[in-house]
């Protein structure tokens, strides 16, 4: 490629990376705030999470459009093509993380201070902190193109699944103990499921970083199993 | 473009459309079978749904890779570029529909014949039939590039959301009536949520068809509202 084309192409990539960094920052903040809103019954904070989501949607569209235009204009090959494809994939995952955080915030609003055993919300916050750590690490791994770090995130997803199953059982127990717990516990069930799904998206991003750096695909079926599906039947 | 390039490009697009048609057929069958497995407690049928999902994953990767290669090789513009972008988006939605159907099948396996009020499963099947109709229609709209049909699917999503909210309330009532209902009702809550999310994906596909045909984006925030979030707090 002629030098000025190379430079334009680098500018394109730089623009994609910047937008994804901005998206990552927004998603991290949304996830942290959603969890705080749930623990502290902080309705204004929940509202800010809900409001933040539209910016993520806009940025995702921008990344997608600009990545596709880059591919069409510059015809990148090999690692450069992987950069643009990865940008599309990662922005998709981060956008959905934002949707899930927004859903947690909506449920925080709906629950209000209806939650009696505060302990269960604390377990949920712990799970959320773990996933937030995963998200930060995998976004760092992307920024630094660090495949070892991304592989580490990928492996840690099992711990989150295990925690999810234990929270799931705990919630079922509360529901069985007292029918008045059922309403808010179903919200917390969905919150826990959302956090678990955010964990899955961080794992997707880890796979994309691995693909970006090495050109190889990690196994599509990673060793995971939602044991809560059995837990619900065998009882809490 | 020279004629032979045009022809290769048409072949590329034809390949994308064929793969998406195959994906659509698999997803429709998975969704129909998952619902049957739930109603009839048919474990072997649930197993076939679970097994079918890996083919969808493979096809989605193929669509994504081949669409990106097409963009890089042929540098399509305007409507041709939209064709490839749309293929990527639609295959992503269909792949996730498969994941959700698989999750319903897993829950059908876990519940077995544990469900006492069969009536609630029938409501769920009704909701599933509606969504399956949406999926068929939107895949037809894509194959025929029929924007009126896709807009019709887009508008019908509200009915599914309303049905979801009513099933959600019904399930909460069963849970409150008898703690023995809680286990399988939480499964059915997640099944209902999965079906509602499949409805959202059909709406995404409708938006993509609209974009493909007209080059314009439908409003990102469609008028929808998950009223079940409030329903859970105000009670059944």
Residues 6 or more apart whose CB falls under 8 angstroms from that of A171 comprise A120, A185, A188, A189, A192, A236
Interface contact flag, A75 B73, Cβ < 8 Å: yes
A76 neighbourhood in chain B, CB within 8 Å? 72
Rounded to a whole number of angstroms, the distance from the CA of A191 to the nearest CA of chain B is 11
Among candidates B61, B172, B179 on the partner chain, residue whose Cβ is nearest the Cβ of A186: B172
End-to-end CA, chain B = 63
Give start and end residues of each alpha helix (H) in B75-117.
78-111
State pLDDT tens for residues A175-206.
Answer: 999 999 999 999 999 999 999 999 999 999 99
Kindly list the domain boundaries of chain A, sorted by start residue. Answer: 3-234
Chain B closest-CA separation from residue A16 CA (Å) = 17
Q: Are B165 and B208 in contact (CB under 8 A)?
A: no
Asked if A148 has any chain B CB less than 8 Å from its own CB, the reply is no
Chain A, 109 to 138: residues with Cβ < 8 Å from chain B are 110-112, 114
**Dihedral sign, CA of B69, B73, B78, B80?**
negative
Predicted ipTM?
0.82
Given the structure tokens 């599309």, which residue do they identify? Answer: A88
- Residue-by-residue pLDDT tens, chain B, 236 positions: 555 566 788 888 899 999 999 999 999 999 999 999 999 989 999 999 999 999 999 999 899 889 888 888 877 776 778 888 899 999 999 999 999 999 999 999 998 776 666 788 888 999 999 999 999 999 999 999 999 999 999 998 888 999 999 999 999 999 999 999 999 999 999 999 999 999 999 999 999 999 999 988 776 555 455 567 766 544 32
Query: How close, in Å, is residue B28 to chain A by CA atoms?
Result: 22
The answer to whether B64 contacts A85, with C-beta atoms less than 8 Å apart, is yes
d(CA A72, CA A84) in angstroms, rounded, equals: 11
Between CA B209 and CA B220, with CA B215 as vertex, the angle to 5 degrees is 70
What values do phi and psi take at A75, rounded to 5? 45, 55
Q: In chain B, which residues have their Cβ closer than 8 Å to the Cβ of A58?
A: 220
Distance CA B95, CA B16 (A): 14
- Does B3-234 carry CATH code 1.20.58.220? yes
The C-alpha atoms of residue A129 and residue A160 are separated, in whole angstroms, by: 10
């Amino acid at each position: 490629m002629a030098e000025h084309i190379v430079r334009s192409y680098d500018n394109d990539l730089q623009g994609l990376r910047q937008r994804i960094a901005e998206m990552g920052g927004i998603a991290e903040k949304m996830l942290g705030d959603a969890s705080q809103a749930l623990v502290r019954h902080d309705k204004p904070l929940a509202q800010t999470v809900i409001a933040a989501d539209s910016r993520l949607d806009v940025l995702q569209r921008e990344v997608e459009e600009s990545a596709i235009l880059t591919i069409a204009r510059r015809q990148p090959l090999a690692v450069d093509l992987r950069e643009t494809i990865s940008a599309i994939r990662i922005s998709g995952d981060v956008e959905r993380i934002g949707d899930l955080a927004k859903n947690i915030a909506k449920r925080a609003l709906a629950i209000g201070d209806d939650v009696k055993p505060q302990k269960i919300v604390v377990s949920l916050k712990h799970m959320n902190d773990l996933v937030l750590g995963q998200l930060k690490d995998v976004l760092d791994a992307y920024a630094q193109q660090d495949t070892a770090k991304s592989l580490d995130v990928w492996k840690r997803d099992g711990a989150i699944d295990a925690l999810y199953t234990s929270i799931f059982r705990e919630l079922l127990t509360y529901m069985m103990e007292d029918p008045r717990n059922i309403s808010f516990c179903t919200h917390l069930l969905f919150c826990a499921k959302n956090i678990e799904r955010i964990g899955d998206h961080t794992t997707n991003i880890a796979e994309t970083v691995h693909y970006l750096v090495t050109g190889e695909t990690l196994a599509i079926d990673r060793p995971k199993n939602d044991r809560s599906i059995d837990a619900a039947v065998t009882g809490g």
